[in-house]
Amino acid sequence: MEINKKISYAFYTIFHPFKGFWEIKYEGKGNIYSGLFFLLIFLITEVIREQYSGYIFNYNYPAPVNSFLVISRVLVMFFLWGLSNWCLTTLMDGEGNLYNIFTAVGYCLVPMIGANILVTALSNFLTVEENMFLVYIDSFTLIWSGLLLLAASIVVHQYSLLKTIVTSLMTVVVMMIFVFIGLLCISLVQQLTLFIDSVYRELIYRI
C-alpha cells in the first residue's frame, strides 16, 4: 500500500514539481524503487511503441524491432545522466546524492510514458497528413520532462536556476566525455584482442 502511494504521488509531482520533489526527497513520499518502476514502465512503452506503432509512422517497418537495442539505449542514457550529474554536482557543492538523482529522473519520465502510450494508439488511426499531432505530443512531453528535470535538479541540489542550467549543460559535456572514453576503451580492447590473436596464430604457425 505504501509503494502504491509513492507511485501515485508521481501524478502530483509532475504538476507541482517543486513541492513534489521536495516532499519526495525530504518527506519520504518517493524512493528509488518507485523511480526505477517508472524507468521499467518507460522501457516497456518504448519497446511497444517501436513494435506496434502504425506502419505509416513506424520507421522500423518491415524490419523486426531489436528490443535489446531499444532497452540498452534508454538504460545507457538514464544511468549515464545520473552518474555524470552526480560526479559533477559533487564537485560543485550539490546536496543531492546518487539515490536522489536516480529517483528524480525516474519521476521525470512519467510524461514521456503517457506520450508513448498515446502516440502508439493514435499512430494506428491517423493519416500521414495528421503526423503533426504526434510531433506536437512528443515535443510537448519532451519539454515537460525537461522542465521537470530542471526543477528536480534545483530541489535536489539546492541550486539557483542559473547554476542548475549551467550544471545541466556541463552534465551533457561529461556524458560525452564518458562516451568518448568508453568508445576508446572498446577500441583499445579490440586492437589488443586482434594483436594477441595474431601473435597466437603466428606462434602456432611457427611451432
DSSP the chain: -HHHHHHHHHHHHTTSHHHHHHHHHHS-S--HHHHHHHHHHHHHHHHHHHHHS-TTT-TTTTSPP-HHHHHHHHHHHHHHHHHHHHHHHHHTT----HHHHHHHHHHHTHHHHHHHHHHHHHTTT--GGGHHHHHHHHHHHHHHHHHHHHHHHHHHHT--HHHHHHHHHHHHHHHHHHHHHHHHHHHHHHHHHHHHHHHHHHHHHH-
* pLDDT confidence of residue 2: 59
* pLDDT confidence of residue 16: 92
* pLDDT confidence of residue 129: 80
pLDDT over threshold 50, residue 76: yes
pLDDT digits (tens, 9 = 90+) for 28-75: 888 888 999 999 999 999 999 988 887 777 776 666 778 888 899 999
Residue 170: how many other CB atoms lie within 10 Å: 15
Q: Under a CB-based contact definition with an 8 Å cutoff, are residues 113 and 42 in contact?
A: yes
Q: Which three cell numbers stand for residue 191?
A: 586492437
pTM: 0.87
pLDDT digits (tens, 9 = 90+) for 191-207: 988 888 888 787 777 66
Regarding predicted confidence, which is higher, 131 or 22? 22
pLDDT digits (tens, 9 = 90+) for 95-144: 989 999 999 999 999 999 999 999 999 988 888 788 889 999 999 999 99
